[in-house]
Amino acid sequence: MLTAKQHELIRFIQQRLEETGISPSFEEMKAALDLKSKSGVHRLISALEERGFIRRLPNRARALEVLKNPEDVLPGTTAKPANDVVARTTTPPVAQLEPANDVIELPLHGRIAAGAPIEALEGQSSLPVPAALLGPGDHYALEVSGDSMIEAGIFDGDFALIKRTTTARDGEIVVALVDNEEATLKYLHRDGSMVRLDPANASYSAQVYQPDQVEVQGKLAGLLRRYN
């Protein structure tokens, strides 16, 4: 079952697609649902996407496709795609190719080490991030400090966009909280009974810990870099 807001949002998106062939902007969705911020819209979109009701069309920030309607999902029935809407969104007018300026305000939780672990600060500021850079799920941002991940293209002063999770596969870049007080950005590897946090810089050595010393708090979803 969808929540009332999720149902309201998918109906609004479908209505706009039927009327204009163009997905509504995050600002339009926020106003239509009487939400306080675009982050609320982002959470609803992510929930609908995870449950298979909609999907984001690649390479276009403001392009959504309705895959099924809430009315299609009834007990004892099989959900079917909303073919009339799919037809309109897979052959969009040229206007839909114009870039959108939808922005999500992510919580900016201080600085994280890309070197020796440093204390992870819970800041109160936020970082504006293009919505197209984020997939489904809950995200936050951290400012990178240090150079131990430069061979992975992560530099001092970059902003790491982190998908919040407590699990990760070997070889993924994660935010690892060490001894419940220090955080670092590293490749995660399980080495026998130990957990190894690997840098991406030959000048640094791997850090090896007992499993109960390391807590995964998220994994890298993207980067923002300022040039000035």
Do the strands 54-56 and 64-66 form a parallel or antiparallel pair, or are they unpaired? Answer: antiparallel
Structure tokens at 80: 């079917």
Q: Residue 190 forms beta bridges with which residues?
A: 195
Residue 22: strand, helix, or coil: coil
E-strand spans in 72-172?
Answer: 103-113, 118-119, 125-130, 139-145, 159-163
E-strand spans in 23-114?
Answer: 54-56, 64-66, 103-113
Number of helices (H), then strands (E), in the chain: 4, 12
Cα separation of 199 and 114, whole Å? 8
Helix 38-50 to helix 4-20 angle (10° resolution) is 90
Q: Residue 59 — left, alpha, or beta (φ > 0 → left; ψ -120 to 50 → alpha)?
A: left
Q: Residue 205 forms beta bridges with which residues?
A: none
Q: Which residues are catalytic?
A: 148, 186
Q: Are 3 and 10 in contact (CB under 8 A)?
A: no
CB neighbour list of residue 130: distance below 8 Å, 6 or more residues apart: 61, 102, 103, 104
